[in-house]
Amino acid sequence: MKHIVRLLVLVLVLLPLGEAFAAGVPAVSAAPGKGGGTEYSVNVEVLILMTVLSVLPALLLSMTAFTRILVVFGLLRQALGTGQTPSNQIMVGLALLLSLFVMSPVLDRVYNEGAKPYLDGKMSFEPAFAAGVKPLRSFMFAQTRDSDLLSFAKIAGHGPYASQDEVPLTVLAAAFMTSELTTAFQIGFLLFIPFVVIDLVVSSVLMSMGMMMLSPMLISLPFKLMLFVLVDGWALVTSMLAASFHAAG
C-alpha cells in the first residue's frame, strides 16, 4: 500500500508541470534512453501522465478486481430487497477499498518493476512501461477464461496465439471483463438462493393464512436482514470475494 501512496504523491508533484507544458516552456525532444527505448522530454511525459489520469476510471473498470466486486455487491443488494440501501456511493467505496486490498500485490510489483526503475533513472519510459504492465497482464490472464479469450481473438480477426505475450492488451482487457461478469453472476446466483427460499416460505405461509393482500416482501425483508446479520454476511461476502481471485502466475 505504501507504493500506491508514493504513486499518488508523484502524480500530485507532477501536476504543476502541466502549466509549464501549456505555456510551451521547453521544446519537445526525444533521445535514446538507458536500457534501450526512447527518453522523452518533460513536456511529453506530462502529456502522457495527463492522458493516463483521464483514462484512469476506464482502467479501473477494465483491468482490476473492481468490476467483479461491484457487480456482486449490486446483486447482493437486490437479493436482500433493500432498494437503494446501502447507497451507490457506499457500495462503490467499499468495492474500491476491497479492490485495493486484492490488487495491492500486483500494484507493488508494478511499482517495483516499472515505476521505481523509471523514477530512479535506471530505465527509460518504454521499457519501464512494458515491465510495469507485465504483472497486471499476469493478473488478468489468471482470471480470464480461455473461451472468452478465443472469442475476442476471433472478433479482432486474430489467429490462435502461441504465447500470452502475443495477446494484445485490448483483446485481453475485453476477455477479462467478460470473464469477470460471468464469475460475478455465478457468485450472485449462489447469494440469491437462501433469500429466494425465505421469500417462497413467507409467500406460502401468507397464502395459506389467506393474507394475499399483504406483500410477502414486507414480511420477508426483516427475516432476510436477520439471517444476513446472524451469519455475519458482510464479512463472509467480502472474504469470499477476495478469495475468488486467482493468484497471478
Q: What is the pLDDT of residues 230-242, one digit of tens each?
A: 988 899 999 888 8
Same domain, 206 and 135: yes
Q: Which one is predicted more confidently, 78 or 54? A: 78
- Is 56 among the domain residues? no
Shared-domain flag, residues 117 and 226? yes
Neighbours of 158 (CB within 10 A): 14
Residue 40 β-bridge partners: 30
- pLDDT bucket at 217, cuts 50 / 70 / 90: confident
pLDDT, tens digit, 9 for 90 and up, residues 6-52: 544 444 334 444 444 444 444 445 555 555 555 555 555 566 666 66
Distance between CA atoms of 95 and 99, rounded to whole angstroms? 6
Classify residue 100: in a domain, yes or no: yes
Residue 5: pLDDT over 50? no
Structure confidence at residue 10 (pLDDT): 43
Q: Are 216 and 206 in contact (CB under 8 A)?
A: yes
Calculate mean pLDDT across residues 220-231: 87
Supply the pLDDT for residue 55. 67
Residue 118 and residue 31 share a domain: no
pLDDT tens per residue, range 92-146 = 899 989 988 888 888 888 888 887 887 777 777 778 878 888 888 888 888 889 8
Residue 15 lies in a domain: yes
User: Lowest-pLDDT range, 51-55, 213-217, 218-222?
Assistant: 51-55
Comparing 69-73, 219-223, 232-236, 240-244, the range with the smallest average pLDDT is: 219-223
Q: Which residues of 129-156 are buried (b: 16+ CB within 10 A; e: fewer)?
A: bebbbbbbbebbbebbeeebbeebbeee
Residue 27 pLDDT: 43
**Cis peptide bond N-terminal to 222, omega within 30:** no
Domain count, the chain: 2
Pair 13, 94 in one domain: no
Beta carbons of 113 and 248 less than 8 angstroms apart? no
Which has more pLDDT, 39 or 218? 218
pLDDT reported for residue 75: 92
Same domain, 93 and 28: no
Dihedral sign for Cα atoms in the order 22, 26, 32, 36: negative
**Does residue 186 carry a pLDDT above 90?**
yes
pLDDT score of 183: 92
Q: Which residue has the higher pLDDT, 214 or 177?
A: 177
If asked whether residues 135 and 12 sit together in one domain, one would say no
Q: Could you tell me if 125 and 37 lie in one domain? A: no
Check whether residue 35 and residue 78 sit in a common domain.
no
Q: Looking at the predicted structure, is the pLDDT value of residue 212 above 60?
A: yes
Task: For residue 25, give its domain range.
Answer: 1-51
- What is the reported pLDDT for 28? 46
Judge contact between 36 and 127, C-beta under 8 A. yes
CA atoms of 119 and 117, how far apart (whole Å): 6
pLDDT category at 187 given cuts 50, 70, 90 is: very high
**Rounded CA gap, 106 and 136, in Å?**
6
Q: What is the pLDDT of residue 69?
A: 92
Say whether pLDDT at 220 is over 50: yes
